[in-house]
Amino acid sequence: MPSSGTLIAESLHPGAVLEGLDLRVTKIVRAEVGNVEVGQPLLWTLLEFTVSDDDVERLAETLQEQLSPIGGWYCDFRNDEETHVVFHHRRFRYRRGDDTAREEAKNYGRTVGVPEPQLDWPV
């Protein structure tokens, strides 16, 4: 079963490349939701996507290298069984509904500057 999530285009560091992945963009949204106080632009491009089971690991590994370390960025994606939350050089993977593991990922997000309202990926 494929996983789905949202990637914020502005979260990728300059020169970042995501290629060779079975990634399908299902929706693109532009929204003024960023937090300039933490180094994020106000205007974001949200890319809603699905990724095949075969490419979940490669996507997570790629994002760990391609997400900007500045601005409190992460990308989350999930299927019915598990959630992945990826930061620059750090990844959390846990069973859906595991509140302890989810809180651990949120706590890490706080340490890298993710604003509290943005620690809102689905349970």
87 lies in some domain: yes
Give the pLDDT confidence score for residue 1 in this predicted structure. Answer: 78
**Interval 75-107: pLDDT, tens:** 999 999 999 999 999 999 999 999 999 999 999
90 lies in some domain: yes
Q: In what order do the strands lie in the sheet with 23-32?
A: 23-32, 43-51, 3-8, 75-78, 82-87, 90-95
110 lies in some domain: yes
Question: Model's pTM, two decimal places?
Answer: 0.95
123 lies in some domain: no
- Cα–Cα distances (Å) from 30 to 33, 45, 47, 61, in that order, read 9, 5, 9, 26
98 lies in some domain: yes
In the predicted model, residues of the chain with pLDDT beneath 50 are none
* Number of domains making up the chain: 1
48 lies in some domain: yes
Domain around 100: 3-118
